[in-house]
Amino acid sequence: MTHRYADLLKPLFDRLILELRDCEYLHADETGWSMDGKRAYAWLFANDDFRVFLFRDSRGSKVPKEVLGLEKLMLILITDRYRGYLPLLVERQFCFVHLLRDVEKLKLEFPDETQVAEFCDDLIPLLQATIKLRQSHPDRKKYLKRAKEIQKKIMEICNFTSSDPGVQHIQDIFRLNEKNLFQWVKNPDIPCENNFAERNLRPIVISRKLSFGSQSERGMQTREILMTVLHFAKCRGHDSVKFLEQLLDTLTANPKADIPARLKLNTRHAVNAA
């Protein structure tokens, strides 16, 4: 039954993937999954308007390329520093929460190193201030001013000469990836962290513990279609069960109904009921 539902909703799933390419920004993340006892991965591409889940046997770059293609997009992709997203022709924003964890880990590993302690004590408060900035400065003008101040201080610390390898490693992350770290400075709408994706992957983690994964590739495909449609409905303010029921009633009355057209999908407009 679920496979049949997924087949009926596949055109909507495909259309939602295409709609992602018109978004201003997207969060992306991946986590482990299981397919018939073998290693697989669950992927998420999402923002306030969209949730698209994919289940694949690969953690390679072919999955992000499947979603966002290889053409240049006017889109900012918010992720950790995983290299699988590198082939995409999009702007990037690396997650500051991950960076904060790296710096805190460095401090814990070398508590007696003076250079490490001074570097971490200077940088950690700035990273924390960055993560809290959107909540603490709702006024756009004040936000932009404070964001530029924080960026300047961060780069001053990371451009300061250090002989400690651990400090140099963190500094190189900022020096070599500056264009991928400060999208939030130019636009308050762009988050500096990827907590949104991690929160929305939690249902996957819970499901993995309860179900032990999928039994086949077909099972993974069915799961990704149904999860995408149901979570998409929820993030657009619909009751997921009623939304699914309405779609299936429409297809029962007319198996050739163009569901994506009926929903009038557009990232800039609300979804109309089928």
Alpha carbon distance 174, 99 (integer Å):
10
115 & 146 share domain: yes
Q: How does pLDDT run across 212-238, given as a tens digit for each residue?
A: 899 999 999 999 999 999 999 999 899
- pLDDT at res. 113: 92
Minimum mean pLDDT range among 115-129, 135-149, 184-198: 135-149
CB 231 within 8 A of CB 53: yes
269 assigned to some structural domain: no
Which residue, 128, 147, 182, sits at the end of a domain? 182
Q: Which two tokens stand for residue 244?
A: 């699914």
Minimum mean pLDDT range among 79-88, 119-128, 194-203, 248-257: 248-257
- Predicted confidence (pLDDT) at residue 243 exceeds the cutoff of 60: yes
Q: How does pLDDT run across 133-181, given as a tens digit for each residue?
A: 988 877 899 999 999 999 999 999 999 999 999 999 999 999 999 999 9
Domain span at residue 85 reads 2-92+195-263
126 & 80 share domain: no
Global pTM exceeds 0.75:
yes
Identify the band that residue 264 occupies on the pLDDT scale cut at 50, 70 and 90: low
- pLDDT at res. 266: 57
Alpha carbon distance 230, 50 (integer Å):
11
Collapse the DSSP code of 38 into the 3-class scheme (helix H, G, I; strand E, B; otherwise coil) and give the result: strand
38 assigned to some structural domain: yes
Which residue, 182, 205, 224, sits at the end of a domain? 182
Identify the band that residue 256 occupies on the pLDDT scale cut at 50, 70 and 90: confident
- pLDDT at res. 265: 65
232 & 105 share domain: no
Collapse the DSSP code of 202 into the 3-class scheme (helix H, G, I; strand E, B; otherwise coil) and give the result: helix
Across the range 97-109, mean pLDDT stands at: 96
- pLDDT at res. 271: 40
Q: Based on the structure, what is the number of domains in the chain? A: 2
206 & 175 share domain: no
Which residue, 153, 182, 211, sits at the end of a domain? 182
- Predicted confidence (pLDDT) at residue 270 exceeds the cutoff of 60: no
- pLDDT at res. 128: 97
248 assigned to some structural domain: yes
CA distances in angstroms from 51 to 10, 106, 183, listed in the order given: 15, 34, 22
Strands 51-56 vs 38-46: parallel, antiparallel or unpaired = antiparallel
CATH number at residue 34: 3.30.420
Across the range 53-77, mean pLDDT stands at: 95
63 assigned to some structural domain: yes
31 & 79 share domain: yes
- pLDDT at res. 135: 86
Strands 91-94 vs 76-79: parallel, antiparallel or unpaired = parallel
The per-residue pLDDT of the chain, averaged, comes to: 91
